[in-house]
Structure 1
Amino acid sequence: MRKFVVTALFIASFLIINNLVRSIYNFWHKQDLLVSAQQELQQQKKEREKLTRELTRVKDPLFIEQEARDKLFLVKPGERIVLLPKEGLEDSTQSGKPKKREPNWKQWLVLFFRS
């Protein structure tokens, strides 16, 4: 009879410990899930704030006017659009004659001894 009681207590304590360990593991796992969910929430809040700022910027009449001018080439009454060709810009930035480059040793001589 005493052997039966000891065995029953041993089995009961084993089951209690097993359930306790499983509960602790589940608690830690859920705590990790909670932390990751909170981080995701913070990230989503930052994204929402960014999008809210972007929305207020886009709804601004000055922004709408600027986009219409830049992308749709719209003008106000009395204004004219002037488009410059790309070839003309490149030619005007370069001089007619290419500059002759001196060797590095001559540049050093001029820098140190003829200044």
Structure 2
Amino acid sequence: MTSMGDFPAWAAWLVAFCVLSGSAVTLVGSLGLLRLGNFYARVHAPTLGATFGMGAILLGSALYFTVLETRPVVHEILIALFVTFTTPVTLMLLARAALYRDRTEGDRDVPPADAVEDLIPPGHG
């Protein structure tokens, strides 16, 4: 690996911006986890923070290693694909498990399943 003296200033600023903005988005998502009221509201903030924050941080990492090694780095692309596909699926599974639990316990804040199915237009569910 080369020394940081060989790294161009424009790339250093761009990498710093990507990493700092990605970490700020992730921090906001984490704060949303603490601040929001119920499970259904809390589950969205960290998911969005993880997905968008991860994207910006990996973009900065890819730029850094691409400029240093003068070749594209694909490890970051694979990580981004994996996290982008698994994070929303995990959100969906957690939300469905919570809905099932709340409906079986008779929670009044959650509408029954047949009431929700009446709201879905034909051909969209």
TM-score when normalising by structure 2: 0.29
Which structure is higher in RCO with an 8 Å CA cutoff and minimum separation 6? Answer: 2
TM-score when normalising by structure 1: 0.31
Higher radius of gyration, 1 or 2? 1
